Amino acid sequence: MGFLLARCIIGAATLLCVLPPCQAKFTSKFYGKTCPNLGAIVRSVMAPAVAKEPRMGASIIRLFFHDCFVNGCDGSILLDDTPTFTGEKNAGANVNSVRGYEVIDAIKTQVETACKATVSCADIIALASRDAVNLVGGPTWNVQLGRKDSRTASQSAANANLPGPGSSAASLVSAFAAKGLSAREMTALSGAHTVGRARCVLFRGRIYSDPNINATFAAARQQTCPQAGGDGNLAPFDDQTPDAFDNAYYKNLMAQRGLLHSDQELFNGGPQDALVRKYSGNAGIFAGDFAKAMVKMGGLMPVAGTPTEVRLNCRKVN
């Protein structure tokens, strides 16, 4: 009886998704009957991965952002290129940059063993990124589930939608507004740059040419990011607590120690200054806003009519 009821509900949800616009019923209990251990499985892979390499937490958080900003949170970023298919992995903002694909694969393998052909790769990224934030010391939240995986990906949309490190404050605001996210949510989500690393090639212009930079900080960064060469050399976004999810990002901005030009744009005499001051003075307000904004970003959906499925292997369509 319980089984029949569950089948009926799943059938109804699937039916709704056949008719555009697809209104998937998102709920944190989506897999409550069909994959009750999902949360524990995801955490059991994420915890050792982050313990082994704390940067992996940062990398998975970014993977979620780059999935969601390109045609919604649909696992499209995970599709490998093939001779006849060009996806998002080699888009400018992703190639040689986004990492953590093997961790998502490892989670998917365990999830498939426990609950065959049930849980989307897009939902796995959403859960993994929630755990990533929490495992490096940040807040936690309930993840809304029920996403499907796209059977397509778009390199051109990735190139067009993902903001670059040279962005102005105004273009950051508009890139997020294009996704239904406010300037406040943009500023909160940018706080993810309290963890992780960036390559010299992406901040060289700032440390040699920007006027609004702390001289001590610029000199320190120049040590490992020469004017010529060393493009791939890494520096932490937050050199005080590089692997801790705290509000140091905003404190750094107030000391003109933002690593990317786009980071410092959030504290440069403009409309985001007041919020940066607030977050730098109150870690709790930042953590709350960040969690809420992650849930909202996680609600970005592919456009109606996009063919979707629950992928069996996150790297290729079924």
Min dist. Cβ of residue 256 to ligand NAG (A): 6
Cβ–Cβ < 8 Å for 92, 116 = no
Does the protein bind ligand NAG through residue 255 (CB under 6 A)? Answer: yes
Beta strands in the chain (DSSP E): 149-150, 197-199, 234-236, 308-309
Residue 217 interacts, among ligand HEM, ligand NAG, none and using kind-specific CB cut-offs from 5 to 8 Å, with ligand NAG
Nearer to ligand HEM, 247 or 262 (CB): 262
Per CB under 6 A, the list member of 190, 252, 264, 280 interacting with ligand HEM is 190
Does the protein bind ligand HEM through residue 133 (CB under 6 A)? Answer: no
Per CB under 6 A, the list member of 195, 213, 248, 291 interacting with ligand HEM is 195
Does the protein bind ligand HEM through residue 259 (CB under 6 A)? Answer: no
Per CB under 6 A, the list member of 164, 230, 242, 299 interacting with ligand HEM is 164
- Residue 185: name the closest of 66, 57, 302, 279 by CA: 279
Stretch that binds ligand NAG, among 136-144, 211-219, 241-249, 293-301 (CB under 6 A): 211-219
Q: Which residue has the tokens 């120049």?
A: 222
Look up 261 and say whether it is catalytic.
Answer: no
Local structure of 70: helix, strand or coil: coil
Min dist. Cβ of residue 283 to ligand HEM (A): 17
Per CB under 6 A, the list member of 214, 222, 306, 313 interacting with ligand NAG is 214
Cβ–Cβ < 8 Å for 133, 10 = no
The angle, 0 to 180 degrees and rounded to 10, between the axes of the packed helices 169-177 and 183-190 is: 110
SS (H, E, C) 199-220: EHHHHHHHHHHCCCCCHHHHHH
Give the integer Cα–Cα distance in Å for 69 and 193. Answer: 17
Active site residues: 66
List residues near ligand NAG by CB under 6 A.
214, 216-217, 255-257
